């Protein structure tokens, strides 16, 4: 395995670990939100996706790179945000 592949793998592992840690923090903060868990989580995921996009622009990350970066993290937050919106609007009767 070359150094480039090891570096890409290390970067990807760091992004996954960072995503898991941030999601844990977001869920904890959403649990204590005054507007309810679902709505708090939606707002926090939306803000996290915007923050990740801004960081990707500042760091000049390349979208669709071979290693995971802030753009991929932003996509994960946005997808989870849309999922939370869909589940929050679902009202079983």
User: Helix H segments across the chain?
Assistant: 3-31, 37-59, 70-89
* pLDDT of res. 78: 97
* pLDDT of res. 7: 86
Give residue 37's domain range: 3-89
* pLDDT of res. 1: 57
Low-confidence ranges of the chain (pLDDT < 50): none
* pLDDT of res. 9: 87
pTM listed for this prediction: 0.86
* pLDDT of res. 42: 95
Model pLDDT for residues 13-22, shown as the tens digit of each residue = 999 999 999 9
The Cα–Cα gap between 28 and 76 comes to 18
């Amino acid at each position: 395995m070359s150094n480039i592949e090891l570096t890409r793998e290390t970067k990807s592992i760091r992004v996954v670990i960072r995503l898991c840690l941030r999601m844990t923090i977001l869920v904890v903060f959403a649990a204590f939100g005054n507007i309810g868990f679902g709505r708090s989580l939606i707002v926090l995921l939306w803000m996290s996706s915007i923050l990740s996009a801004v960081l990707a622009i500042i760091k000049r990350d390349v979208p669709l790179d071979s290693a995971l970066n802030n753009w991929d993290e932003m996509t994960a937050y946005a997808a989870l945000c849309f999922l939370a919106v869909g589940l929050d609007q679902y009202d079983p009767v």
